[in-house]
Each structure stands twice: as C-alpha cells, then as structure tokens.
C-alpha cells in the first residue's frame, strides 16, 4: 500500500486536522464571532484538501502508473496532467 511509505507524515497531517476540528468546536462553544469560526473552517477545509490531494497523487503514482517503471511517456504525461487538475481543484 502506498500510504505506508509516508505513514508518519500522513498521521501528523491527520492529527493537525483533528486539532483544527477541535478548535472549531471550541470556538462554537465559546460563542466566538462567526467570522472567526468561518476562518477556522476554511483552514480545516484547506488542510483536508491538501491531504486528499497528496493521497490522490500517491494513488495515481503507485496504483495507476505502477512502481515497476513500465508506464509509457503518454501515460506519465496524462497522470501528471490529472494530478495538476486535482491539485488545482482541491485548492
């Protein structure tokens, strides 16, 4: 599985997201201004999209192209284009 090579990094990102979600909950409980809650939500959304982008890119590299190096240059180019689209979409 491709997540095992960067497992610690992914776990740290997930933990940061957990912290952001807890900050959102705390802000709501403390009746913070809605703009503050919206900023926290936006940051959390960005972090989730970043994690999603990284996992999709790894999935393409390891499961679509494969790690055996037998992909054609057209396949590699198409994979890179798809990864660019995903990154742009998830920003």
Helices (H), the chain: 7-29, 34-59, 73-89
d(CA 4, CA 79) in angstroms, rounded, equals 21
| CATH architecture for the domain at 2-89 | Up-down Bundle (1.20)
Q: Taking a C-beta distance cutoff of 8 angstroms, is the pair 82, 59 a contact?
A: no
How does pLDDT run along the chain (91 residues), one tens digit per residue? 566 778 899 999 999 999 999 999 999 999 999 999 999 999 999 999 999 998 898 888 888 887 666 778 888 888 889 999 988 888 7
**Angle CA(11)–CA(16)–CA(18) in degrees, nearest 5?**
95
**Angle CA(45)–CA(51)–CA(54) in degrees, nearest 5?**
140
**61 CB-near residues (< 8 Å, 6+ apart):** 2, 67, 79
What global pTM score does this model have? 0.80
Residue spans of the domains in the chain: they are: 2-89
Q: Which of 62, 55, 57 is nearest to 13 (CA)?
A: 55
- pLDDT of amino acid 65: 83
């Amino acid at each position: 599985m491709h997540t095992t090579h960067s497992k610690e990094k992914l776990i740290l990102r997930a933990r940061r997201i957990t912290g952001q979600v807890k900050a959102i909950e705390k802000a709501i409980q403390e009746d913070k201004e809605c703009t503050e809650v919206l900023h926290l939500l936006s940051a959390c959304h960005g972090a989730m999209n970043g994690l999603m982008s990284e996992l999709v890119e790894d999935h393409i590299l390891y499961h679509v192209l494969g790690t055996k190096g037998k992909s054609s240059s057209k396949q590699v180019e198409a994979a890179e284009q798809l990864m660019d689209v995903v990154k742009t979409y998830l920003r």
